[in-house]
């Protein structure tokens, strides 16, 4: 550097600072796979959500697992080595073998076949419940948020009251009142689960409603229904899809949990939670009965959680820096 | 503070009213005529005459609002009816079993705090380091692991195979460990991540930088200045999570044959013991509302901005 | 890797004030944070030397450096709103600093804290110490920060845009008080600002930073009366002046460069009015043109000193 920096090195009071360089921290954004800088660069990153999702390895793994599982469910009759409900008491509690790759249960049914058919039960039940939830919550949330006033007040009060019950407990109570059965479990979960969605959707509608393009549409005399369907719903739906994906995991957990208690799928329907419950008494002699169904549940839930996390990160660009 | 509490309690009135209506209405979900069910459960052949007589006796022919009024009056006298199965008052049955459930939930919360606090703070302080990755994996697994499966696995390894803990039932501390871990496991993972995110947010704030510039010890900065702020969103989230804990307790109590309210409730479902189911719903709602009130009060104590701002904000 | 700072050197004698001027992102804050040893990891000082009273700070351990922070080196941050921890009282935050550095007991620290708040002109200090930051006005908060910073009679005071976030009327008051207090405690002051009015008010010397380097350095009168670097000239021109006929705002056109990969030439070239071919010949180094006045500009350096002076006078 220059000569003048030495001018003051003899100075014994005060500060002398000679810096050749300071490296700024480069902080790796693991999820987006992008670099961003802790300070001072006029860089801007504008990356589409799809691109971000495509670079998220964990989300892709989740998506891959889901695709495989859905395929397994669809092609169950071709993949399953045995009839999932065929009882053969001579073969009961058999260890895994060539004929029964994952062994048999207490009634001699092939566990692998039951697991394969079980994907159908778990996925379709969860999908159905989710559809019901969306069909209740989207209209409720949208109308409540858009119309406002008294109607909004009523919907919000109902939501507050339902939220005063612990969610899972209320679902258990409703299912318990209706009596055991997969359909009753679905009704119970739908009746409880829509509340959170409606609240979130209402919030989003409220914020979209204030945007300039809605004002513009309104000032052109566009009808309310057109505004809702053309402008508001498209803005609300993609976050709802992200939310739904994130929730698939918890829904599957809830359904299998209720079935585990004996409230959901009734014998001989091959359902994972119910299979776990069936295997419980034979823990000492045949632990594989409770090992595989649990693994199956965890794998599916994990896959949906991975994809859901990825979707959330991709569609919520808060993590991306704008300097 | 006083104003906040009064406002909060006032706000509860419509909620409690709504809760009572829902609970009262629950009985209509049950298939069949209540009088018929009662007769069946007491072993009497439900003839037309018997059913009609009982309906009259129970006041089931009165208008709905009168039935509701009668029910509310009973509830206010802590009368939730009698269990079809045991014949004893539902209130008594629930209160008798509640300590066991409380013990389990508190132990689960204790386990959750014990694990999530240190791991959340460590993960925030050593971002992208080994601890952080470990906590991320744990959070993913924790959120995906079915609690009932975890319970069974724990019983299999620690009770059946190793014989360290008793298989089921309530008793000393050794009985409590496995159920509490089962119940608290998933929540611990979630809260570790939540605390990590919240800590990272706080550690990036100016006042932390200024606290460092003031020469305070790092321990004091992290453990006091950052933690107290970072706990605020965690406390808020806890109110909601407590509901999951109550729901989870039902399953855990069933697996471990834990003599709590949840186990009693599940047994009642299969015996179509409707007064118990109804009573359980009301009781849990009350517990949940009280816990959320306590959470709000804790929050107010942690955050002076709400405590001292007169009247505004909730 | 991003070079946030690239060749910066200055010295501040006790009792003197150095102002560092430059656009946001030019490396001002990073430079002073390096002095305190507070650069966020993974950022780090690659090479350099920092002396405080003849002691090399870069040779100190983290613990030794911590002991100096707040005691010998104090920081007043830009935004008093975010500089104080929202969930602790003013009193707690002052006393913990005192206890940390002076090893005195709580009661003694409290008396001392009240004394300090009196010194910065806050009325009713015994009430203020019981308040939370959000209960004070911006000016009061910044006075608290100044009291905190000056409480230990530091050798150096770093003020990072101390008045930017305040109302204009409060700004002048705080500046006036700061000047008095600084005079009393005879600290060396490093003042970061982009407000040239504040520079004129407080500074003895000025360092102009651009893209992580000092481009001009000198006595405050020299810089204002005889700016040599085209960037400094542009900055001075950009101040709107009342009472002049020239009512057009003259901003410094263009954007500061990205620090990711600085080219091997003068960083200001793309925005320079006088840029010529010779400006591409490497990064200009800071050279003392006139005694006490250094500049980093190829054109100024290659010109003869007499010419520079003459042109500046013209």
Q: Does residue A1 belong to any structural domain of this protein? A: no
pLDDT of the residue at C312:
52
**CATH number of the domain where residue A300 is located:** 1.10.3720.10
Cβ of residue A264 closer than 8 Å to a chain B Cβ: no
Please tell me which of the candidates A20, A22, A40 has its beta carbon nearest to residue C39: A22
pLDDT value of residue C303: 67
A306 touches chain B (CB under 8 A): yes
Q: Is A302 at the interface with chain B, CB within 8 A?
A: yes
CB contact under 8 A, A15 and C11: yes
Cα–Cα distance for residue pair C72/C51, rounded to 1 Å: 12
Classify residue A23: in a domain, yes or no: no
Report CA-CA distances (Å) from A32 to A239, A269, B199: 18, 42, 21
Supply the pLDDT for residue B41.
Answer: 73
pLDDT per residue over B77-133, tens digit each? 888 888 888 889 999 999 999 999 999 999 999 999 999 999 999 999 988 888 888
Say if residues C177 and C163 touch (Cβ distance below 8 Å). Answer: no
pLDDT one digit per residue (tens) for chain A, 323 residues: 333 343 334 445 567 777 767 766 544 333 333 333 333 333 344 456 677 777 788 889 999 999 999 999 999 889 888 888 887 788 778 788 888 888 888 888 888 999 999 999 999 999 999 999 999 999 999 999 988 889 898 888 889 889 889 888 999 999 999 989 999 999 999 999 999 899 889 988 888 888 888 888 888 888 888 888 888 888 888 778 888 888 899 999 999 999 999 998 888 889 999 999 988 888 888 888 889 999 999 999 999 999 988 888 777 544 332 22
Give percent of chain B with pLDDT exceeding 90. 41
Residue A51 lies in a domain: no
Chain A environment of B143 (Cβ under 8 Å): 249, 301, 305
Best CA proximity match to A175, nearest among A240, A242, A261: A261
* The predicted structure's pLDDT at residue B127: 83
- CA-nearest of C32, C112, C45, C40 to C73 is C32
Residue with tokens 């999702």: A53
Q: Mind giving me the DSSP string for B44-65?
A: ----HHHHHHHHHHHTTTS-HH
Residue contact A294–B152, C-beta within 8 A? yes
Cβ-nearest to C67 among B213, B215, B302: B215
Pairwise CA distance, residues C290 & C223, whole Å: 12
Neighbours of chain C (3+ CB pairs under 8 A): A, B
Cβ within 8 Å, pair A22-C53: no
Q: Is C1 on the interface with A (CB under 8 A)?
A: yes
* C156–chain A Cβ distance below 8 A for any pair: yes
The residues, ordered by sequence, that sit 6+ positions from A51 with a Cβ below 8 Å of its Cβ are: none
B207/C74 touch (CB, cutoff 8 Å), yes or no: no
d(CA C256, CA B190): 43
Using the predicted structure, report yes or no on whether residue B176 has a pLDDT greater than 90. Answer: yes
- Which chain C residues touch B303 with a CB distance below 8 Å? 86-87
What pLDDT is attached to residue B250?
95
| CA-based nearest residue in chain A for residue B19 | A161
CB-based contact B143 A301, cutoff 8 Å: yes
Contacts of B26 in chain A (CB under 8 A): 173-174, 177
Query: Per-domain residue ranges for chain B?
Result: 10-77, 97-313
The verdict on whether omega for the bond into residue C42 sits within 30 degrees of 0, i.e. cis, is: yes
The residue of chain C with its CA nearest to that of A39 is C25
The four Cα atoms C202, C206, C210, C215 give a dihedral, to 10 degrees, of 170
Are A16 and C43 in contact (CB < 8 Å)? no
State CA A211 to chain mean position distance. Answer: 28
Looking at residue B277, what is its pLDDT?
92
Q: Which chain B residues have a beta carbon less than 8 Å from that of C78?
A: 206
Interfacial residues of C (vs B; Cβ cutoff 8 Å): 36, 38, 66-71, 73-75, 77-79, 82-89, 96-97, 100-101, 132, 134-135, 145, 148, 158
pLDDT of residue A297: 95
* pTM more than 0.95: no
Strands, sheet with C55-56, edge to edge from the N-terminal-most edge strand: C2-12, A15-24, C44-52, C55-56
Q: What chain A residue is nearest to C293 in terms of C-alpha separation?
A: A4
Is the Cα torsion angle A29, A34, A37, A40 positive or negative in sign? Answer: negative
The subunits that touch chain B, with at least 3 C-beta pairs less than 8 Å apart, are A, C
* pLDDT of the residue at C48: 78
**What's the CA gap between A230 and A237, in Å, rounded?**
12
pLDDT band at B311 (very low <50, low <70, confident <90, very high): very low
Residue A49 included in any domain: no
| CB proximity under 8 Å: C 179-238 to A | 188, 190, 212
SS3 at position C49: strand
Which residues are CB-neighbours of A298 under 8 A, at least 6 positions away? B141, B144, B145, B146, B149
Calculate the CA A17 to chain-centre distance. 54
Q: Which of A27, A38, A42 sits opposite C256 (nearest CB)?
A: A42
- Selecting from A180, A249, A276 the residue whose C-beta is nearest the C-beta of B144 gives A249
Pairing of strands C44-52, A15-24: antiparallel
What residue of B is the nearest CA neighbor of A178?
B30
pLDDT of residue A5: 41
pLDDT at residue number C308: 56
Nearest to A253 among B27, B146, B289 (CB): B146
Kind plus residue range of the DSSP H or E element containing C8? strand C2-12
Find the closest chain C residue to B300 by CA distance.
C87
- Nearest C-alpha of chain A: how many angstroms from B193? 13
Interface probe, candidates B213, B225, B235, chain C, greatest C C-beta count within 10 A: B213
**Residue numbers of chain C with a pLDDT score lower than 50:** 313-314
Give domain status of residue A175, yes or no: yes
CATH topology of domain B97-313: MetI-like fold (1.10.3720)
Residues ≥6 apart with Cβ < 8 Å to A309: A58, A59, A62, A246, B140
Query: Across the interface, which of A16, A20, A43 has its CB nearest the CB of C7?
Result: A20
* Structural domain range at position A94: 56-315
Q: Which among B205, B215, B305 is the nearest to C69, CB-wise?
A: B215
Whether pLDDT at B16 is above 60 = yes
B247/A256 CB distance under 8 A? no
Determine the pLDDT at residue A321: 29
Q: Cβ A20–C47 below 8 Å, yes or no?
A: yes
pLDDT value of position A133: 93
C291 touches chain A (CB under 8 A): no
Mean of the pLDDT values across residues B226-245?
90
Distance, CA of C53 to CA of A178 (rounded, Å): 81
């Amino acid at each position: 550097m220059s000569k003048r920096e030495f001018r003051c090195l003899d100075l014994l009071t005060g500060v002398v600072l000679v810096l050749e360089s300071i490296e700024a921290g480069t902080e790796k954004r693991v999820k987006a796979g992008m670099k961003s800088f802790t300070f001072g660069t006029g860089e801007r990153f504008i990356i589409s959500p799809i691109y971000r999702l495509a670079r998220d390895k964990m989300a892709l793994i989740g998506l891959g697992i889901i695709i495989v599982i859905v395929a397994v469910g669809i092609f169950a009759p071709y993949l399953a080595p045995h009839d999932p409900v065929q009882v053969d008491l001579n073969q009961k509690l058999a260890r895994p073998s060539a004929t029964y790759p994952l062994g048999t249960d207490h009634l001699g049914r092939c566990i692998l076949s039951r697991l394969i058919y079980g994907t159908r039960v778990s996925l379709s039940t969860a999908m159905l419940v989710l559809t019901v939830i969306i069909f209740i919550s989207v209209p409720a949330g949208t109308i409540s948020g858009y119309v406002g006033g008294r109607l909004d007040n009523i919907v919000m009060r109902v939501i507050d009251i339902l939220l005063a019950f612990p969610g899972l407990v209320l679902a258990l109570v409703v299912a318990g009142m209706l009596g055991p059965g997969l359909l009753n479990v679905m009704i119970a979960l739908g009746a409880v689960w829509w509340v959170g969605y409606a609240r979130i959707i209402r919030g989003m509608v409220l914020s979209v409603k204030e945007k300039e393009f809605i004002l513009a549409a309104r000032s052109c005399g566009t009808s309310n229904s057109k505004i809702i369907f053309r402008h508001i719903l498209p803005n609300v739906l993609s976050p709802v899809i992200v939310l739904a994906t994130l929730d698939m995991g918890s829904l599957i957990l809830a359904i299998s949990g209720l079935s585990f208690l004996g409230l959901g799928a009734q014998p001989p329907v091959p359902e994972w939670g119910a299979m776990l419950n069936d295997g419980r008494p034979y823990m000492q002699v045949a632990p594989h009965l409770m090992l595989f169904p649990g693994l199956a549940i965890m794998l599916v839930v994990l896959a949906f959680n991975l994809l859901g996390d990825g979707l959330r990160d991709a569609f919520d660009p808060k993590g991306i820096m704008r300097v | 503070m006083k104003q906040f509490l009064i406002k909060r309690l006032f706000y509860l009135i419509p909620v409690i009213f709504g809760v009572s209506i829902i609970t009262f209405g629950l009985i209509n979900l049950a298939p069949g005529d209540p009088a018929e069910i009662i007769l069946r459960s007491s072993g009497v052949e439900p003839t037309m005459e018997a059913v009609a007589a009982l309906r009259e006796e129970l006041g089931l022919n009165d208008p709905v609002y009168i039935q509701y009024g009668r029910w509310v009056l009973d509830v206010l006298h802590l009368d939730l009816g009698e269990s079809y199965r045991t014949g004893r008052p539902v209130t008594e049955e629930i209160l008798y079993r509640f300590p066991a459930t409380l013990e389990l939930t508190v132990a689960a919360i204790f386990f959750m705090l014990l694990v999530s606090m240190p791991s959340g703070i460590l993960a925030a302080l050593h971002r992208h380091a080994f601890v952080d990755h470990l906590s991320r994996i744990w959070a993913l697994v924790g959120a995906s692991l079915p609690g009932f499966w975890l319970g069974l696995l724990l019983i299999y390894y620690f009770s059946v195979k190793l014989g360290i803990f008793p298989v089921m039932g309530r008793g000393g501390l050794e009985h409590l460990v496995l159920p509490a871990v089962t119940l608290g496991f998933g929540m611990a993972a979630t809260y570790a991540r939540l605390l990590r995110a919240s800590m990272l947010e706080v550690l990036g704030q100016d006042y932390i930088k200024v606290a460092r510039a003031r020469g305070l010890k790092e321990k004091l900065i992290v453990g006091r200045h950052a933690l107290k702020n970072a706990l605020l969103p965690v406390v808020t989230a806890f109110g909601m999570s407590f509901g999951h804990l109550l729901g989870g307790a039902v399953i855990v109590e069933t697996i471990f044959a834990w003599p709590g309210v949840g186990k009693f409730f599940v047994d009642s479902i299969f015996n179509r013991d409707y007064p118990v189911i109804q009573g359980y719903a009301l009781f849990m709602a009350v517990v949940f509302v009280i816990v959320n009130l306590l959470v709000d009060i804790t929050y107010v104590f942690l955050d002076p901005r709400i405590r001292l701002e007169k009247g505004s904000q909730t | 890797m991003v070079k946030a700072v690239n060749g910066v050197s200055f010295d501040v004698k006790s009792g003197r004030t150095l102002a560092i001027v430059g656009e946001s992102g030019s490396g001002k804050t990073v430079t002073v944070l390096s002095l305190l040893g507070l650069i966020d990891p993974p950022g780090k000082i690659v090479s350099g030397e920092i002396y405080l009273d003849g002691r090399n700070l870069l040779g100190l351990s983290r613990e030794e450096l911590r002991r100096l922070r707040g005691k010998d080196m104090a920081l007043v941050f830009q935004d008093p709103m975010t500089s104080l921890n929202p969930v602790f009282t003013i009193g707690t935050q002052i006393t913990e600093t005192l206890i940390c550095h002076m090893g005195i007991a709580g009661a003694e620290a409290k008396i001392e804290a009240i004394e300090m708040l009196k010194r910065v002109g806050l009325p009713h200090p015994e009430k203020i110490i019981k308040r939370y930051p959000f209960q004070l006005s911006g000016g009061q908060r910044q006075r608290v920060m100044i009291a905190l910073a000056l409480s230990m009679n530091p050798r150096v005071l770093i003020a990072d845009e101390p008045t930017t976030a305040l109302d204009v009327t409060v700004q002048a008051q705080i500046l006036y008080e700061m000047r008095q207090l600084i005079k009393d405690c005879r600290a060396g002051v490093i003042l970061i600002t982009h407000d040239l009015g504040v520079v004129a008010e407080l500074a003895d010397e000025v360092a102009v930073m651009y893209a992580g380097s000092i481009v001009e350095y000198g006595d405050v009168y020299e810089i204002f009366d005889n700016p040599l670097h085209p960037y400094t000239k542009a900055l001075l021109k950009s101040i709107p002046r009342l009472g002049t006929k020239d009512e057009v705002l003259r901003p410094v056109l263009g954007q500061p460069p990205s620090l990711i990969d600085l080219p091997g030439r003068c960083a200001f070239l793309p925005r320079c009015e006088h840029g010529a071919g010779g400006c591409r010949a490497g990064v200009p180094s800071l050279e003392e043109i006139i005694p006490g006045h250094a500049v980093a500009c190829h054109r100024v350096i290659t010109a003869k000193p007499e010419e520079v002076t003459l042109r500046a006078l013209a």
